[in-house]
Each structure stands twice: as structure tokens, then as C-alpha cells.
Chain A
């Protein structure tokens, strides 16, 4: 149980184009989803928190207009990198949380990540 699917796993795009990454909770309802970015040999940097049906909460320093997050249903959140540039190249990871019980509330179930390469 608690499977999170993230697609695509790898994307290469030209500078200036937009890329959409999907994150789906397959067997549970995710009230909250998180989006992280990881640079090589570094930790997970939280970009934003999204709750179903409401606007995402972005961390300080993350551009809202560049990284568009939509959490339209309890099983799907999307991250769109708009007008991508080479400096946006990174590993993007989503995670999802359910509700039932304290343990479940705090555990995050992660997708496999998306490697974005902007040429």
C-alpha cells in the first residue's frame, strides 16, 4: 500500500519550454502533497506544500510563477516548470500524505522522482 507514482521519470527539454510533472497517489487519498528539489549530493529542498482544492504554499525563495502547482484531486498533484532554463535542471521529487492516525499523518510517501534536463 501507499504507492506514489511520479511521471515522467526523465525529461529533456529545450530552454524556454514548459514541463509538467505528475504525482499520483495510487491506493490512498492524499490530503497533502509536497514537492521537493534535490541537487547532486545535497538534501531535499522543500519547494511547496499543496492541499487538495486550495492554493499551494511555497517556501521562501521559490518562484510561484515559475513553478506552478495544481492539486485538483485527492490523488493528483502537478508541478509545471514554466519557461524552463538550464539552471532549472534538477531532480524533482513529490510526496504524499494521508490522514488516518498520527503515524500516517506524518509519514510521507515519495514518488520515484523526475530528472529534468534543460538544454
Chain B
């Protein structure tokens, strides 16, 4: 049973528009959520995170929203840039440090 799901394997948006990446989870013990970005042949890099006590966290062009009742989080990138093209992984942790990762969403931002 996959506890963290990213149902969209890929997303394509136009440069300057908003990119919205979604993530659903099933384990109610998760209390910390993270987004990572990964380029081909590289390791993922941490992007932004949110604790379960919050519903929104913003860092520049990146905003993460958390809806605990729906067990859903999303990453908004505004405005999207071609350099944002990468695979984005959603991850969730029960506070132990060990995270469960989703399968990733490949974002393509077209110039």
C-alpha cells in the first residue's frame, strides 16, 4: 500500500504560468511534509517543507499548501521558469526523520 501518492506522473506548463503539483497521503501519523526537486543523474535537493501545524508555507516562488482533513498537499510554483523543469518528489515523515517518498512528478516548463 503506497502511503504517499503523486497521481500525476507528468505536468507541462507555459513559462510564466503557475505550476501546481499534487500529493496525497494515507498515514495520519505523518506530521511533516517535504518537497524535493531532482534533475537527471543527480540526487534530489530539498525545496520546501511544512509542518502539520501549518496549512501554508511560502518561500519565494514556491508555496506549499497542506489540507490535513483531506490528507492532501500541493506545491505551487509562480511564475514557472524553464529552469524549474525537473522531477518533483513529495515526501512525508512521522517526525522520526525517515521519510516516505511519492513516485515523483516530471514538470516541464515550456519557454
Residues of A within 8 A of B (CB): 4, 6, 32, 34, 42-44, 46, 49, 91, 93-95, 97, 102-103, 105-113, 115
Contacts and interface: CB of A to CB of B under 8 A. Distances in A.
Contacts of B104: 43
Interface of B: 32, 34, 36, 41-46, 49, 51, 89, 91, 93, 95, 97-99, 101-104
20 contacts: A4-B43, A32-B98, A43-B103, A46-B98, A46-B101, A91-B41, A93-B44, A102-B32, A102-B51, A102-B95, A106-B34, A106-B49, A106-B95, A108-B44, A108-B91, A108-B99, A109-B46, A110-B45, A112-B41, A115-B41
Most central of B34, B36, B44, B103 by chain A CB within 10 Å:
B44
A107 B45 contact: no
Contacts of A103: 49
A93 B39 CA distance: 13
A93 B49 CA distance: 21
